[in-house]
């Protein structure tokens, strides 16, 4: 009997867990729809902006613009690590922390030893993992993804741009999950500053444009705008990827709970049948004993 009680308790607990995972899947699906719409709308604008800037990049030799392309000696690096504030989304956060650790242990190994790598975490989870690994983490902006909007993202990026222009940091790199679809996230790390030079192929592209007020004046506004859009896009990508990863994880958890329920119900029926068989055997044995007396 005690075995049946234990199995009934596990069945009840599993049903409750399955209801929670179903609800979380539905919530994530709703949030994913909104987040994926946002990144789908943002990408064409961001790509077009980068394309325009690439065509105008030949004016970067102007002193007012050269600072954005200045590949100076790297003495201080800022890694912007974008993860989530909550777990239960599969390997989403673990992958971001793993890629960050790889960069720290390989590409920036010497700078880490000298304390010249700043890990700026947006979202709590990757920062918690990196702290456990012994890295110093800047959590000033870890709540930035809560009620994210373009103004908050642009202000954050503007502060990084000003630090780069002042020389307090020499390179800014973003680590995040790029959204492809609900089931697929592409782990990425991109250099924001300094801006990479034009490739030979892009240099061969010639465009005949008239500029007002001037090409340099346009780039003075366009370059910061493009950088802010690039970082904002990474945040939107990460948000959509998070909800997609959580939806898939909760779907799998719901499916696993269903399989476990099937196994528990089978075990319960077997235990119940065994108890019934034992009781019948005891009754038959008692009857036989009475008849023999």
pLDDT at 58: 62
Residue 4 or 96, more confident:
96
Is the pLDDT score of 184 beyond 80? yes
CA 151 to chain centre: 21
When pLDDT is cut at 50, 70 and 90, the band that residue 121 belongs to is: very high
CA 11 to chain centre: 34
* Domain annotation covers residue 279: no
Residue 267 or 58, more confident:
267
Rounded to whole angstroms, how far apart are CA atoms 234 and 179? Answer: 9
Is the pLDDT score of 167 beyond 50? yes
Mean local confidence (pLDDT), 234-247: 91
Of the candidates 82, 89, 130, 248, the residue annotated as catalytic is: 89
Instruction: Provide the domain count of the chain.
Output: 1
| Residues spanned by the domain of 66 | 20-197+206-250
* Domain annotation covers residue 13: no
* Domain annotation covers residue 82: yes
* Domain annotation covers residue 257: no
* Domain annotation covers residue 144: yes
When pLDDT is cut at 50, 70 and 90, the band that residue 194 belongs to is: confident
Rounded to whole angstroms, how far apart are CA atoms 71 and 156? Answer: 22
Mean local confidence (pLDDT), 261-287: 83
pLDDT at 62: 64
Report the CATH number at residue 97: 3.40.1380.10
pLDDT at 157: 93
* Entry pTM: 0.83
Token pair for 75 = 């003495």
* Domain annotation covers residue 136: yes
Distances (CA, A) of 279 to 13, 31, 112: 29, 54, 71
pLDDT at 207: 54
Is the pLDDT score of 170 beyond 50? yes
* Domain annotation covers residue 172: yes
Degrees to nearest 5, angle at CA 216 with 212 and 220? 105
pLDDT tens per residue across span 24-75? 999 999 988 888 888 888 888 887 777 777 666 665 556 677 788 877 888 8
Q: Mean pLDDT lowest for which of 11-20, 45-54, 186-195?
A: 45-54
Is the pLDDT score of 202 beyond 50? no
When pLDDT is cut at 50, 70 and 90, the band that residue 78 belongs to is: very high
* Domain annotation covers residue 9: no
- Can 89 be counted among the known catalytic residues? yes
Tell me 62's DSSP state: S
Mean local confidence (pLDDT), 83-93: 89
């Amino acid at each position: 009997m005690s075995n049946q009680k234990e199995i009934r308790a596990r069945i009840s607990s599993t049903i409750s867990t399955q209801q929670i995972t179903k609800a979380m899947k539905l919530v994530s699906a709703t949030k994913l729809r909104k987040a994926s719409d946002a990144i789908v709308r943002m990408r064409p604008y961001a790509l077009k902006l980068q394309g325009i800037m690439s065509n105008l990049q030949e004016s970067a030799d102007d002193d007012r613009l050269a600072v954005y392309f200045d590949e100076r000696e790297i003495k201080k690096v800022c890694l912007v690590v974008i993860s989530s504030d909550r777990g239960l989304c599969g390997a989403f956060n673990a992958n971001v922390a793993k890629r960050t650790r790889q960069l720290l242990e390989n590409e920036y190994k010497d700078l880490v030893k000298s304390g010249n790598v700043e890990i700026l975490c947006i979202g709590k989870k990757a920062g918690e993992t990196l702290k456990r690994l012994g890295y110093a983490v800047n959590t000033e902006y870890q709540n930035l993804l809560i009620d994210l909007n373009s103004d908050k993202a642009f202000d954050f990026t503007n502060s990084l741009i000003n630090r780069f222009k002042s020389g307090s940091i020499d390179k800014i790199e973003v680590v995040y999950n790029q959204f492809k679809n609900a089931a697929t996230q592409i782990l990425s790390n991109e250099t924001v500053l300094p801006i990479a030079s034009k490739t030979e192929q892009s240099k061969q592209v010639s465009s005949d444009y008239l500029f007002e007020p001037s090409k340099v004046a346009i780039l003075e506004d366009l370059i910061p705008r493009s950088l802010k859009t690039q970082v904002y896009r990474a945040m939107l990508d990460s948000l959509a990827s998070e909800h997609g990863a959580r939806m898939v994880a909760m779907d799998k958890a719901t499916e696993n709970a269903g399989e476990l329920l099937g196994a528990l119900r089978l075990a319960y029926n077997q235990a119940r049948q065994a108890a019934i068989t034992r009781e019948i055997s005891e009754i038959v044995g008692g009857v036989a004993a009475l008849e023999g007396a």
